[in-house]
Amino acid sequence: MRADVRDKLASLPEDERVLLRPLVDTSPRFYMVAAVLAAVVVWGFVAYYLQVRYGLGRTGLNRPEYWGIYIICFVFFIGISHAGTLISAILRVSQAEWRRSITRSAELITVLVIGFGAIQPIIDLGRPDRLLNVVFHAQLRSPLLWDVISIGLYFTSCTIYLYVPLLPDLAIIRDSGIKAPRLYRFLAAGYQDTVVQRARLERVIAILSVAVIPIAISVHTIIGWIFAMTLRPMWHSTIFGPYFVIGAIHSGIAAILVAMVVLRRVYGLEHYFRAVHFDYLGKMLLILSCLWFYFTFAEHLTVLYGAEPAEMRTFWAKISGRYAVPFWTMVGGCFLVPFVLMARRATRTPAGVFIAGIAVVIGMWLERYNIVVPTSVNPIWEMEAIGRYLPSWIEISIMAGALAGFTLLYMVATKFVPIVSIWEIKEARAVVEEVAERVRRYSSGFTTPKLTDSA
Amino acid sequence: MTRWGMVIDLDRCTGCAACEVACKSENNIATVPSRQADMGRAISWMKVMTEVEGEFPNNTLQFYPRPCMHCDNPPCITVCPVRATYINDEGLVGQIYPRCIGCRYCANACPYTVKYFNWYGPEWSESERRHLNPDVSVRPKGVIEKCTFCHHRLQKAREAARAEGRVLREEDYQPACAEVCPTGAIVFGDLDNPNHRVAELKEDPRAMRLLEDLGTQPKVYYLRSRQ
């Protein structure tokens, strides 16, 4: 860190000093991790180059296993992206005051991971060179086209929803002069934090946080519908829309928790990510793991009870057949581990939520595997049910590249924007009286002014 | 209204697979190396499926030659994001190779698993190359293909009939599989034309269609085996 930057940083108030520090102070360990991740990304590009050059034959895909790792990762990444926007929007709308320090890191996950999700179906295309045909020859009856539209809308709205609440912080960085003055002058877009500007900002945020909720729900519903609209056993199910939304939120909260634990550790954010945050988010994870179990149980019980032969082949392949290991690992990761850890206050700690978060993230990846693969290898016409699927190293490399790419981008982003919203934290200290008044209003029905007076 | 369709008599089918070979040769379908075939990547628009009933030695084999069903209500066409697969006025379900983006959604939507993907580009030896059918376009890597009921033969037959100033007869347009079947198990024609054999055969008490309860309305009928 240069001396003048250190002086400027030291002269800032405490919140700015702690939260802007990562922007100007980068450890050698950061560069090491970034270099490793960058190498994995390059490796992923090499794999994709080979696939484009020689054809999708380089994957493990076949007939009838037409879809594999790429489509699994597509659902997985878009699911993770539900972390930010949806959670932060719900918390903002419900005026949950404890949201203030976690919304930024969550919204950043959304915007950065969504691109890695959106490219997966393109990687999966046999003819990526003809991608624009979805515009030139668009057929609106295709759920894939609904998806193109909803993801486009989602990405746009989430980016705005990340950017607008960033404005006051960008202005703070611009005014402090600690980093890239021209860049931040441009990004801050003339924001001066006047009373009028602040009022407008809060109005826009209020509108956006309502608007992004239905958009976010539509995105994962439609991804579920891509599967549900076909006649295939265990895909053709009305539960898929809501089931996918619940799964997405589940993996999204898990991803936020993992990110928060890591950020807290590496940037020393103990004052901002407190026990109460892990406690509350841990409870949300607990609720979602129960909801996830409820949906999974309902879906599988209905299939078992109906006992249609074509569905039963897929069902038993999951429960006790070739896919039993991924299936029961999924149940462990998505339900048992988070349930056991998050049901107890003693384990709703950073260490506990970290383990539960990792378990859910892995479990939710496997959930998509268990949806895509066992059905694909068991087509409805039994004589074709001979499928097998073993992903090739090309597919694994591209997946690793995407995971590394997202992590790298997130790391780099923490060097450009404060990962905790500075102005919202400050605002929290100012609104304590207002919140106390609001809480008093909640209970006014029980203690009427008259009674209080006489007491 | 013309509705091209097929009736396959399972009692007559001997499982000789002449239909498969004729189809591959007619439609420029390249063979793939055996390892690729083991992975499930061989392309066979017409494929003789074998159902084994009972345990050896007291078993019987039932063969089902399986082309594209050319459904009247095809699940493949609605899911295509780019309208690369369509059904025409005469009920033929077609695939536009130069437009297909290779997403394989139609392949997943087809309950009969008749859609094939070009995992690699097609390869022919020099001797094979000389025998490619000039009437059928070859498919590049990365697109979906499937049985067309040899519709290129329909175009030719229609032109010939027009040149001779007569209506199209049943024998003018026959796909390669029907033409070559040594036992006459595969009968092809217009399902709505009472002068065509298929119109009568499809009303046979033995007639059934695959996965009929899905409501896809296939235009390929099978005459159930009598045993």
Task: Please tell me the total count of domains within chain B.
Answer: 1
Is B69's Cβ below 8 Å from some Cβ in A?
no
Range of the domain at B219: 4-223
Structure-block tokens of residue B118: 């070009």
Pair A348, A282: CB distance under 8 Å: yes
**B186-208 mean pLDDT:** 96
Give chain B positions within 8 Å (CB) of A137: 82-84, 99
Nearest to B79 among A128, A142, A383 (CB): A142
Q: How far is A350 from chain B (nearest CA, A)?
A: 42
**A213-227 mean pLDDT:** 95
Residue A450 clears pLDDT 90, i.e. is over it:
no
Tens digits of residue pLDDT in B3-35: 999 999 999 999 999 999 999 999 999 999 999
Question: Residues with Cβ < 8 Å from A346, sequence gap 6 or more?
Answer: A352
Residue A175: count other Cβ atoms within 10 Å of its Cβ.
16
Confidence of residue A434 (pLDDT cuts 50, 70, 90): confident
Closest-CA residue of chain B to A386: B40
Mean pLDDT of chain A: 92
Confidence of residue A387 (pLDDT cuts 50, 70, 90): confident
CA angle, B120 then B125 then B126, to 5°: 135
Give chain B positions within 8 Å (CB) of A143: 79
Residue B162: count other Cβ atoms within 10 Å of its Cβ.
11
Give chain B positions within 8 Å (CB) of A138: 81-82
Is B113's Cβ below 8 Å from some Cβ in A?
yes
Confidence of residue A445 (pLDDT cuts 50, 70, 90): low
Mean pLDDT of chain B: 94
Give chain A positions within 8 Å (CB) of B142: 55-56, 125-127
- CA distance linking residue A196 with residue A198, whole number of Å: 5
Task: Estimate to the nearest angstrom the gap between the alpha carbon of A72 and the chain centroid.
Answer: 15
**A180-204 mean pLDDT:** 93
- CA distance linking residue B170 with residue B38, whole number of Å: 39
pLDDT over 70, % of chain A? 97
Give chain A positions within 8 Å (CB) of B119: 55-57, 59, 61-62
Query: Inter-chain contact A127–B143, Cβ cutoff 8 Å?
Result: yes
Closest-CA residue of chain A to B76: A230
pLDDT over 70, % of chain B? 100
Question: Residues with Cβ < 8 Å from A219, sequence gap 6 or more?
Answer: A78, A82, A147, A150, A151, A154
Tens digits of residue pLDDT in A34-91: 999 999 999 999 999 999 999 999 999 998 899 999 999 999 999 999 877 888 899 9
pLDDT at A85: 82
- CA distance linking residue B34 with residue B11, whole number of Å: 31
Q: Which residue has the higher pLDDT, A402 or A97?
A: A402
Q: How far is A349 from chain B (nearest CA, A)?
A: 44
Strand duo B207-208 + B4-9: pairing: unpaired
Give chain A positions within 8 Å (CB) of B78: 141-142
Confidence of residue A454 (pLDDT cuts 50, 70, 90): very low
Residue A300 clears pLDDT 50, i.e. is over it:
yes
Give chain A positions within 8 Å (CB) of B208: none
Query: Inter-chain contact B112–A381, Cβ cutoff 8 Å?
Result: yes
Element (H, E) at A248: helix A240-267
Residue B227 clears pLDDT 90, i.e. is over it:
no
- Residue A454 identity: S
Nearest to B79 among A59, A65, A143 (CB): A143
Give chain B positions within 8 Å (CB) of A118: none
**A424-437 mean pLDDT:** 86
pTM: 0.94
Helix (H, G, I), strand (E, B) or coil at A410: helix
User: What domains sit in chain A, N to C, each tagged with a CATH number?
Assistant: 3-428 (1.20.1630.10)
Q: Which of A50, A62, A311 is the best mutation test for B, with the most CBs of B within 10 A?
A: A62
Query: Inter-chain contact B103–A126, Cβ cutoff 8 Å?
Result: yes
Q: Please give the full DSSP string across B23-88, using - where no structure is assigned.
A: HHHHTTPPP--HHHHHTT----SSEEEEEEESSTTS-EEEEEEE-----SS-HHHHH-TT--EEE-
- CA distance linking residue A358 with residue A255, whole number of Å: 8
Q: How far is B53 from chain A (nearest CA, A)?
A: 12
Q: How far is A64 from chain B (nearest CA, A)?
A: 7
Q: How far is A223 from chain B (nearest CA, A)?
A: 13
Query: Inter-chain contact A133–B99, Cβ cutoff 8 Å?
Result: yes
Tell me whether 0.90 is exceeded by the ipTM.
yes
pLDDT at A111: 92
Which CATH number is B137's domain given? Answer: 3.30.70.20
pLDDT at B226: 84
Nearest to B121 among A55, A125, A130 (CB): A55
